[in-house]
Amino acid sequence: MTRSIPDEIIRRVKHTANIVDFISEHVVLKKTGRNYQGLCPFHTEKTPSFTVSPERQMFYCFGCHTGGDVINFAMQYEGIAFSDAVRVVAGKYSIEVPQPGISSAQKAVLTENERLQEANEEALRYFQDMLKAPDSGQRAMSYLLGRGMTRKIIDAFQIGYAPARWDGLLRHLQRKRVTAALGEKAGVVIPRKNAKGHYDRFRDRIIFPIHNLSRRTVGFGGRVMGDELPKYLNSPETPLYNKRRCLYGLHLANRPVRSQGRVYVVEGYFDVLAMHLYGLENCVATLGTALTPEHAQLLKGMVGQAGKVFLVFDSDQAGIKAAARSVTVFEAAFLDVRVMVLPRGHDPDTFLREFGPDDFMKRADKALGMIPFIIESAIAAHGLSLEGKIKVVNDVQEALAAVNDSVAKALHIKYLAERLQIDESAIHDKIHRFRAKSMPRAPQDPREKRAVLPVDSLRMEQQLLAMILCYPQMIPDIVGRNLLDYFEDETLKQMAHWIVHRGATEKGEVSDLISRIENPDYRNLLAKIAMTECHWDRQGCERVLGQFQARYQRRDRQALQRRIEAAEKSNDMELLSQLLMEKQRQAGQA
């Protein structure tokens, strides 16, 4: 693994960071004994299987088998390279990480993501400077203030302005030694079609920076101040920006959402700003895309197991369409989602100005769940005539089929049957036939395939590996008795040899050792072993070593006996003599 950060800085970051505090920024954790548990951010689950050990400074999910240290978590969660993850963790603890890039030789070792991040930060500074400049930003600032925004809100969201120039940002990047090619990859400049060179993507637009949970700028959204089209223009997909994983305002909503256990999902940039103006900071907005499973995981990581998500829409029709599209996503994530439709002609901004935040909260408390909302909307659209009831069932069957919880599904069907005054069994049958016809079977996870070793053999080898990891004082005994040669699982054997070699030359914590493993499957397996079996003393170690050696010596004697019997049967006297001598040698060692 190529790393542009010195090892001593990496060690300092890991030893300073508190993994519980860091992960708590992304996952709601509860103390359970010596460890903490929460819902895994890397896969969908209803019951917490994600465990964090403050003692080991490690995490492991017993559901999806992902584990490691605080830097591994940042890599997985943010989808970033190792050096980027070190900087993310270091930033939280105010640790300065040397920034290569002063010389051309140093610049070459920067990762692509680091360079793209540099381009984004320079673009952000340019847009903010242009908004504050008296000559270029006066009209844009007047527009923002005219819409009720305060300078405090503008600064908090780092809002900027892209002047009506073709190369304003391009020239700024060049002055800062950011190449046009890098600016293109970051999505802020565009290559000319019929000529050489590039030009600015955003021109004469209010700029809304898009941040990830670590408060790093990953992309931009631009809005015109007049009637020009397109009204909104967002960054294209880049290695840093993926609209399926990003929500506007996420970085500022994280703490309020965790403390309140609820999050409002609104439709646009100005909706988020308006909510903040009225003290409703637990809100985010989608970025021109339907809600995705990745969004659901982000939201669940913030609200936790018992939290609520409120989808806020400015019309019944928008709410119906979004709820119908999103029900499968949120049901799969086991999220409690409510649909909140504002009165006709209102968006969050106008509603809050006219009625205030208290009425907004009261309306939220009365919001229907997704399935009841879909049912009531279908009834409002089609009525309760004979034909209307048939259309209602047809409209809601897909949403009901997507409900995973059997009790919840039964209650929703009962509610629908009572509203339509028809037999529940007819609806059950309709849903069953729809599901059988349209819902594909989930493919088998290839990770479920397991080696052919007997469970007890695998268990003993894992125990010995745990001992090597967690009680390295026994390594000389293990090596001296050649116990690693007895391993049957080749993966465990390779890892044991690697750890013994590392342990003999490098002293450090278990998390330090595991973080050096580049293969994620090996790292996850070792994290699991360390999290589940790291309670050792010398007496327990000696007992396990004795059992392990006795077991495999017995296995060898049985294998030798089978070979002796085969030699006798084939009348191979030379081989038989050699095998009998080997048997005597084994007996002498016993």
User: Quick check: is 474 in a domain?
Assistant: yes
pLDDT at 179: 94
Query: Which residue has 């506007």 as its token pair?
Result: 248
Output the DSSP codes for 198-226.
Answer: EEES--SEEEEEEE-TT--EEEEEEE-SS
Please state the rounded mean pLDDT for residues 495-515: 68
User: Quick check: is 102 in a domain?
Assistant: no
Q: Per residue in 229-241, is it b (16+ CB within 10 Å) or e — as a string? A: eeebbbbeebbbb
Answering whether pTM is above 0.85, one says no
User: Quick check: is 552 in a domain?
Assistant: yes
Asked if 407 and 489 sit in the same domain, the reply is: no
Asked if 411 and 489 sit in the same domain, the reply is: no
pLDDT at 253: 93
Share of the chain residues as helix, strand and coil, in percent rounded to the nearest 5: 55, 10, 30
Please state the rounded mean pLDDT for residues 471-499: 83
| Higher-pLDDT residue of 88, 266 | 266
Report residue 154 as tokens.
């503008």
pLDDT at 102 over 70: no
pLDDT tens, 525-544? 888 887 775 677 888 888 88
pLDDT at 520 over 60: yes
**Residue where one domain finishes, among candidates 92, 126, 157:** 92
Confidence of residue 404 (pLDDT cuts 50, 70, 90): confident
pLDDT at 109: 43
CA distance 88 to 78: 9
How much is the mean pLDDT over the chain? 85
Please state the rounded mean pLDDT for residues 414-418: 95
User: Quick check: is 97 in a domain?
Assistant: no
Residues sharing a CB contact under 8 Å with residue 286, sequence separation 6 or more, in sequence order: 247, 248, 265, 267, 295
Report residue 461 as tokens.
């080898």
User: Quick check: is 103 in a domain?
Assistant: no
Pairing verdict, β 262-266 and 283-285: parallel
Asked if 185 and 270 sit in the same domain, the reply is: no
Asked if 76 and 125 sit in the same domain, the reply is: no
pLDDT at 586: 63
| H/E segment holding residue 371 | helix 370-382
| Higher-pLDDT residue of 288, 209 | 209
Confidence of residue 403 (pLDDT cuts 50, 70, 90): confident
CA distance 451 to 457: 11
Instruction: Name the residue range of residue 303's domain.
Output: 250-366
pLDDT at 503: 57
Asked if 269 and 303 sit in the same domain, the reply is: yes
SS3 label, residue 179: coil
Asked if 169 and 199 sit in the same domain, the reply is: yes
Q: Per residue in 320-353, is it b (16+ CB within 10 Å) or e — as a string? A: bebbbebbbbbbebbbbbbbbbbeeebbbbebbe
pLDDT at 518 over 90: no
Angle (CA) 200 206 208, round 5°: 90
Burial class of residue 388 in the structure, from the number of CB atoms within 10 Å of its CB (0-12 exposed, 13-18 middle, 19+ buried): middle
| Higher-pLDDT residue of 332, 528 | 528
pLDDT at 1: 40
CATH number at residue 51: 3.90.580.10
Phi, psi for residue 265 in degrees, rounded to 5: -105, 110
| Higher-pLDDT residue of 412, 406 | 412
Asked if 302 and 410 sit in the same domain, the reply is: no
pLDDT at 393: 94
Please state the rounded mean pLDDT for residues 101-113: 54
Alpha-carbon distances of 46 from 40, 50, 261, rounded to whole Å: 9, 11, 16
pLDDT at 108: 46
The total of other beta-carbon atoms located within 10 Å of residue 300's CB is: 26
pLDDT tens, 38-67? 999 888 788 899 999 988 889 999 988 888
Confidence of residue 588 (pLDDT cuts 50, 70, 90): low
Total domains in the chain come to 5
CATH number at residue 181: 3.90.980.10
pLDDT tens, 22-32? 999 888 899 99
Burial class of residue 208 in the structure, from the number of CB atoms within 10 Å of its CB (0-12 exposed, 13-18 middle, 19+ buried): buried
Asked if 290 and 324 sit in the same domain, the reply is: yes
**Residue where one domain finishes, among candidates 347, 366, 385:** 366
pLDDT tens, 247-284? 999 999 988 998 898 999 998 999 999 999 999 999 99
Burial class of residue 176 in the structure, from the number of CB atoms within 10 Å of its CB (0-12 exposed, 13-18 middle, 19+ buried): middle
Residues sharing a CB contact under 8 Å with residue 292, sequence separation 6 or more, in sequence order: 244, 245, 329
User: Quick check: is 99 in a domain?
Assistant: no
CA distance 454 to 59: 28
The total of other beta-carbon atoms located within 10 Å of residue 373's CB is: 24
Alpha-carbon distances of 236 from 189, 288, 454, rounded to whole Å: 11, 11, 51
**Residue where one domain finishes, among candidates 181, 200, 234:** 234
pLDDT tens, 420-434? 999 999 999 999 888
Length of the chain: 590
CA distance 17 to 11: 10
Asked if 170 and 225 sit in the same domain, the reply is: yes
Asked if 357 and 392 sit in the same domain, the reply is: no
pLDDT tens, 569-585? 888 888 778 878 877 77
CB of 410 within 8 A of CB of 385? no
| H/E segment holding residue 389 | helix 386-401
The total of other beta-carbon atoms located within 10 Å of residue 135's CB is: 7
Asked if 500 and 580 sit in the same domain, the reply is: yes
Report residue 68 as tokens.
């490691």
Angle (CA) 52 56 61, round 5°: 30
pLDDT at 448 over 70: no
pLDDT tens, 143-198? 999 999 999 999 999 999 999 999 999 999 999 999 999 999 999 999 998 878 99
Please state the rounded mean pLDDT for residues 235-254: 92
CA distance 514 to 156: 39
Asked if 119 and 227 sit in the same domain, the reply is: yes
pLDDT at 589: 59
User: Quick check: is 101 in a domain?
Assistant: no
pLDDT at 235: 95
pLDDT at 106 over 50: no
Confidence of residue 311 (pLDDT cuts 50, 70, 90): very high
User: Quick check: is 528 in a domain?
Assistant: yes
Query: Which residue has 């080749």 as its token pair?
Result: 490
Please state the rounded mean pLDDT for residues 367-384: 92
Please state the rounded mean pLDDT for residues 324-334: 80
